[in-house]
Amino acid sequence: MTTRVAATDRPPAPMRARLPLVLTAVLVATAIAYPLSSGAGRDAVSWAIVVLGATLSVVHAWLARGPRTGVGVLLLVTTTAVAFEALGLATGFPYGRYTYDDTLGPTLLGVPSLVPMAWLMMAWPSWVLADRLAPARRWARVTTAAAIFAGWDVVLDPQMVQAGYWTWAHPSPGLPGIDTVPLTNLVGWLLAGVLIMTLLDVLVARTALAGAPRIGDAAPLLTVGWMTLGGALAHAGWLGLPGSAAWGAALAVPVLVALLVQRRRVPA
């Protein structure tokens, strides 16, 4: 029994530890292909981005915090996503009224299969970044993670609406510069973010192995950074979405400043 516990607590082998970074590199390369593609090719790229991002989240959670955390993240995020999205589709709460396109795959309770994977892609990196920014207090970590989670969607949602993956019944009023996504969606993502980040925080506290994280958090941090700032660049340069590009850049700057200040405060 003692030997088995020690083996479980042992850090991953170097090759396995590099896997999240490999997945991140492939994800970034695939994301770069999105604005350069069109039609069915763009649909395939969208699927690839989400599947890669979801896989990265589970793999990193598993290797960094342990198998129980990895499996817990998968089950918790996908279940919560289906519950929130099914509620939103049925009642319009908390996001507003919207409909999904058939290209997003088979559905469960009306929720396309790609949607909970997109939540998984976004939720874990958001929590990891918040854990870096606010490690001491749960309430600060949860609210920061929820804000990052919702801010990511500010950039993503106009792109998905443009692609025809979903449509809002009443897109106005929206954020300045974004006329295709209502403000109610942002409120909904903040509410969902507070709940799911609270649950993630409890999950990690109860399941992570002693001494975790066992590998660095570079992969999810690079993912959230690229998908926000890289997305903003794509919106401005190729997709004709200057409003969401500006919001993406504006939301990313305070996070980058906070990380820089935090890094300078760490003693050598």
Tokens representing residue 214 in the block: 């066992």
The Cα–Cα gap between 243 and 174 comes to: 11
**The dihedral of CA 228, 230, 233, 237: what is its sign?**
negative
> What's 43-72 look like in SS3?
HHHHHHHHHHHHHHHHHHHHHHHCHHHHHH
Strand partners, 75: none
Model-wide pTM > 0.95:
no
**Mind listing the pLDDT tens digit of every residue in the chain (268 residues)?**
333 344 456 777 777 889 999 999 999 999 999 999 999 999 999 999 999 999 999 999 999 999 999 999 999 999 999 999 999 999 999 999 999 999 998 999 999 999 999 999 999 999 999 999 998 899 999 999 999 999 999 999 999 999 999 999 999 999 999 999 999 999 999 999 999 999 999 999 999 999 899 999 999 999 999 999 999 999 999 999 999 999 999 998 888 888 777 766 655 4
Please list, in sequence order, all residues whose beta carbon lies within 8 angstroms of the beta carbon of residue 210, skipping any fewer than 6 positions away.
9
pLDDT digits (tens, 9 = 90+) for 110-166: 999 999 999 999 999 999 999 999 988 999 999 999 999 999 999 999 999 999 999
- Angle ∠(188,204,197) on CA atoms, nearest 5: 10
Q: Is 2 exposed, middle or buried (0-12, 13-18, 19+ CB in 10 A)?
A: exposed
The Cα–Cα gap between 82 and 97 comes to: 16
